[in-house]
Amino acid sequence: MTTTLVIGLQWGDEGKGKIVDALTKDSSVVCRFQGGHNAGHTIKVDGESHVLHLVPSGIINPKSKCLIGNGVVISPQALEEEIQMLNNAGISVENRLFISAKCPLILPTHVAIDQARDKQENIGTTGRGIGPAYEDKVGRRSIKFSDLLDLMSIKEKLFNILDFHNKVLTKLLNAEELDPQIIFTDLKKFQYLAKSYSCNTNELVEDFYKNGDDIIFEGAQGSMLDIDHGTYPFVTSSNTTAGGVSSGLGIGPKFIDNILGISKAYTTRVGEGPFPTELFDSTAEEISRIGNEFGATTGRPRRCGWLDLKALREVIFINSVTTLCITKLDVLDNLETINACIDYDQSTPVYKSFTGWQSSTVNCNKFSDLPKCAQEYILYIEDFLGVPVNIISVGPSRNQTIYR
Ligand code: GDP
Ligand code: IMO
Ligand code: MG
């Protein structure tokens, strides 16, 4: 039995979903612990693509179980849509999906505030209401997932919160208010979700752990989007780094065996904010095209640039990463020269250049199958970061994964 924490080391979209799916065994339990449906995880199995936002990526394996911990913010509507999407794809979540009673709900007013405020602040959020929902959690006024079971008992509290949100919308953000009665009536339709999935995930995690199950903790977003350690204020509103799993799921740090950090072989970012190694030339276009770099949640083009080893070194410490996975190596297959930032001069990146391999890696099954120059790139990354690269991904499919 092992417990593995999977963490994105960049600004998200590192391929966490693909790798979590590839690591999921029949006996695995896969747990989300932060974020919400701002995440977009694409998993390709047997030629079919599934895009998950809220449900853990373990759901694609029919025998695994999936938990959503207290640290996740839940939009009942997004949850309903995702379960429906999975059902349509022939994937059942019954007796496989467990959601913490303590998850704060994302209300329609959170979405309206997020979208109205982003017009002023220009963070480039996903517009899913994530930030405002976490504000209410910290402000001790959240409606929780289990509150859906008995909405009458929290009606007054809900209307007070909605009144507060409407004041923010109309008086501060120049936006339309939303009708509290409609929101209340709509919420009642989601009572069945709480009946089906709400539970005490703290107890469950402890049971699974003591039972010796393999547990994967699936991070969403990436370390540089962490609310405390990221490129503030251009960050998301949760702790995306390793510490988030203890608070967001209720598992002590001592029970985590491996911390697998995932990085692309280059860097991407969606939304605004600093990106020192960003490219604006034909190489950026090529990476974007070959890597299909468009956000899975909003469809926005992802900004592309070189790998930033200097930044990775910092987040490796923050997360106490024990092993690394490098994804999308195949996207660099055609490049003549590849650069990686190894330092900064003031704030200008200092690059080390690598000779491109200019041959296909997509059918490589073993490290020794990779072209020599690709091996050298990986070995340099490993040496620079002082952490072994144990997994290399050379395509979106489950089987395009090299284990070392
Ligand atoms: P996540 O948010 O970290 O789960 O990553 P996303 O799913 O948002 O983005 C990663 C994208 O790259 C998805 O479309 C994956 O199907 C795809 N992908 C993952 N690994 C690889 C890889 O090694 N090579 C290529 N070409 N695509 C990959
Ligand atoms: P996955 O799990 C990439 C970014 C948004 C924005 C910032 C704040 O697929 O890696 P938010 O809506 O969270 O308040 O937006 O965070 N962002 C992501 N970028 N991948 C994600 O998730 C992201 N989730 C949020 O683009 O810059
Ligand atoms: Mg994503």
pLDDT tens, N- to C-terminus, the chain (404 residues)? 899 999 999 999 999 999 999 999 888 999 999 999 999 999 999 999 999 999 999 999 999 999 999 999 999 999 999 999 999 999 999 999 999 999 999 999 999 999 999 999 999 999 999 999 999 999 999 999 999 999 999 999 999 999 999 999 999 999 999 999 999 999 999 999 999 999 999 999 999 999 999 999 999 999 999 999 999 999 999 999 999 999 999 999 999 999 999 999 999 999 999 999 999 999 999 999 999 999 888 889 999 999 999 999 999 999 999 999 999 999 999 999 999 999 999 989 999 999 999 999 999 999 999 999 999 999 999 999 999 999 999 999 999 999 99
Q: Establish whether 13 is a catalytic residue.
A: yes
Closest by Cα among 90, 88, 128, 84 to 109: 128
- Cα-to-centroid distance, 221 and ligand 2 (Å): 6
Token pair for 28 = 């695995």
Last residue of a domain, one of 159, 175, 197: 197
Dist. CA 216–CA 2, nearest whole Å? 8
Last residue of a domain, one of 180, 197, 214: 197
Residues with CB under 5 A from ligand 3 (ion): 13, 40, 296
In-domain check, residue 229: yes
Q: Are 132 and 116 in contact (CB under 8 A)?
A: no
Residue span of the structural domain in which 144 resides: 108-197
- The CA R_g of the chain, rounded to the nearest whole Å, is 21
Last residue of a domain, one of 197, 229, 246: 197
Write out the E strands in 11-74: 29-32, 41-45, 48-52, 65-68
Of 13, 16, 18, 292, the residue with max ligand 1 atoms within 8 A of its CB, to mutate for a pocket test, comes to 18
Residues 142, 280 within the same domain: no
Place of tokens 């409407």: 166
Residues 266, 333 within the same domain: yes
- Cα-to-centroid distance, 40 and ligand 3 (Å): 4
- Cα-to-centroid distance, 166 and ligand 1 (Å): 38
**What is the count of structural domains for the chain?**
2
Token pair for 330 = 């195949």
Say if pTM beats, i.e. exceeds, 0.75.
yes
